[in-house]
Structure 1
């Protein structure tokens, strides 16, 4: 967590260091709000520190995030988050500046949500028998927030681009709209991937899918959190171009997603070969169910119920 603590005020660093090591290891988010106690999210539950963030602390954090040059964060402030070294993402909240109906940026930032990016190398390997059949099967990973969707996608991208004894390395493209999968810093992925990886960072998914296909001719495309009509249309274009897709979407389960009009065309075209539902039942990454193209449970998938 050195990449995170180096942007924090020294007294806050000390307060976090005083937390038992095991609890620090389980921390998923550090939530900092002006005039409120700092909150650590561990296994989905809050732990409040005695340290209360001041306005001066918030200004110092923002200065360190921008390397003391706020103009360099202009684009990030429009999006509401900053990616820092190590692939960690810092979400921001404060006063929104709107111009001509569009968000121009943020001012008076009073809340920071530091989402700790952790690699879990190898967690996707038990899924190979279920997601690979002479090629990667078109797969949709479903789960509510903090169920490990992005972590699983990241390791699937690593497996796809490195290959293994069981599968060859494939040209793999990541369309990383929110800089979460690859955690790029100035375009360079901060996580472990193979030699055959290409990343479009901070690029809208629909546009990025088409750009990746036209420019990099990938065998496989990895995309996080589809949800808009444009995403669905672009995915269909990718599939018609012969590219395998592995994507995620927010939802409690398949039944939840089927109700979303923006994804309707994907169900009508029956594009996915595998549906993987995640939960936190036994911690992030718990695979609760896996379905095939016909909507029937995949046989023997219970052998990898937790990744």
Structure 2
């Protein structure tokens, strides 16, 4: 976690590290707010680094670390409100926003930071991938609020599809990684394991990236994180009409809420997704609440199989037979 700790001034870095010690694996976020203690959010609760009271100079130090002392390098990221750093960790930014004609130009005074910890969970998708394959892979949508493990799951889905699992042959996978969170690419090279037959379009807008990937790399399966805009949906529909399987995520709490969003209505009207996986917040990311088929029926099996059966529980932890999945 050196790539995270180096963002902070020395004294604050030591205080944060001492508080986390051996709990890095359960850390979800580090939140920095000017003049308030640093907040550490873990899987099972929140702790405060009480001895820290970040100053303006501390926030300038973090900005300089993120930008390598050149705000010009961060111009696009400042408009988006986040920066992805080495390891795939995402740093959310907030403060005083500058606008031109009602459009965001940049965040001028950055006084709030949210460092979201990226976690590679090899095997995370083993419980869900059997639902996503019937003779071929199925168009699948992962739905959940923030911090429910959507990116963690589709990263491992890409790995499994591209490498093969059980007796299923590997497929060509194209990952459109607009926020550099799925592959955590550094100079185009993924830092996370995305499988043997995966190609990545990094830091590219999703709609353009889908079409570029189809034209250049002829994928069997496209993996995309956080769709939502009308352009995303139009590109996704084009990809499906071109014969490509699409696996993607979207922010949402319920299926009913998603169906009310105008940009998403074509997806539901045409029943594009054969599988819709609803996630919920839990002690660990990737906890599955429901899995719907195209007809809207919940097909999620109950965990706790009989001996000799495949365990399709919704936990990341291996049980007796999950290795067979």
Shorter-chain TM-score category? Answer: over 0.9
Aligned residues: 307
Give me the whole-angstrom Cα distance separating, in 2, the residues matched to 1:299 and 1:195.
Answer: 29
Residue number in structure 2 paired with 1:250: 251
Q: Given the alignment of the two structures, is residue 153 of structure 1 paired with residue 162 of structure 2, yes or no?
A: no
- Note the alpha carbon deviations across 1:198-217, whole angstroms, 9 max, x for none: 22222222222222212221
- Residue 282 of structure 1 deviates from its aligned partner by 4.7
Q: Are residues 169 and 252 of structure 1, via their aligned partners in 2, closer, same or farther at CA, if it must alter by over 3 Å? A: same
Q: Secondary structure at the match of 1:126?
A: coil
C-alpha distance in structure 2 between counterparts of 1:141 and 1:248, whole Å: 5
Deviation of 1:299 after TM superposition, in Å, equals 5.7
The offset of 1:167, in angstroms, is 1.9
CA displacement at 1:237 relative to structure 2: 0.8
- Aligned-pair distance for 1:149? 0.6
**CA offsets per residue over residues 32-91 of structure 1, 9 Å max, x none?**
111111111112743221111111111111111122233222222222211111111111
Query: How far did 1:146 drift?
Result: 0.7
Q: Which residue of 2 aligns with 1:306?
A: 315
State the Cα distance separating 1:106 from its structure 2 match. 2.1
Q: Which residue in the other structure is 1:177 paired with?
A: 178
Match of 1:83 in 2: 84
State the alpha-carbon separation in 2 of the partners of residues 304 and 166 from structure 1.
20
1:162/1:196 contact within 8 Å kept: yes
2:28 is the alignment partner of 1:19? no
1:20/1:108 CA distance change after superposition, 3 Å: closer
Q: 1:130 to 1:215 in 2, by over 3 A?
A: same
Shift of residue 103, structure 1, vs aligned partner = 2.2
What TM-score comes out, normalization by structure 2 length?
Answer: 0.89
The answer for unaligned runs of 5 or more in structure 2 is 304-311, 317-325
Secondary structure of residue in 2 paired with 1:110 = strand
Compute the TM-score of the two structures, normalised by the length of structure 1. 0.94
2:223 aligned partner = 222
Structure 1 residue 104: Cα displacement: 2.2
The 8 Å contact of residues 5 and 17 in structure 2, kept in 1 or not, is answered as no
Aligned partner of residue 179 in structure 2, secondary structure:
coil
Contact 1:282 1:306 in 2 (8 A): no
> RMSD of the TM alignment (CA)?
1.8
| Distance in structure 2 (CA, Å) of the matches to 1:211 and 1:100 | 31
Unaligned runs of 5+ in 1: none
Deviation at 1:287, TM superposition (A): 0.7
Structure 1 residues 211, 283: CA separation in 2 closer, same or farther (over 3 Å shift)? Answer: same
Q: Does the 8 A contact of 1:83 with 1:185 survive in 2?
A: no
Do structure 1's residue 108 and structure 2's residue 117 form an aligned pair?
A: no
**In structure 1, how many angstroms separate the alpha carbons of the residues matched to 2:209 and 2:229?**
14
Q: Give the drift of 1:280.
A: 1.7
In the aligned structure 1, how far is the partner of 2:71 from the partner of 2:207?
A: 29
Distance 2:58 2:205 in 1: 32
1:31–1:112 Cα contact (<8 Å) kept: yes
Q: Deviations over 1:112-131 (max 9, x none)?
A: 11111010001112323211
Using the TM superposition, give the Cα deviation of residue 183 of structure 1 relative to its aligned residue in structure 2, in angstroms: 1.9
Task: Identify if the C-alpha distance between structure 1 residues 20 and 75 changes in structure 2 by more than 3 Å, giving closer, same or farther.
Answer: closer
Provide closer, same or farther for how the CA distance between residues 79 and 89 of structure 1 changes in structure 2, counting only shifts above 3 A.
same
**Comparing 54-63 and 97-106, the one that deviates more:** 97-106
- Indicate conservation of the 8 Å contact 2:127/2:315, yes or no: no
Equivalent in the alignment of 1:60: 61
Q: Counterpart of 1:291? A: 292
Measured after TM superposition, the shift of residue 22 of structure 1 is 4.7
For residue 98 of structure 1, report the CA deviation from its aligned partner.
2.0
Aligned counterpart, 1:130 = 131
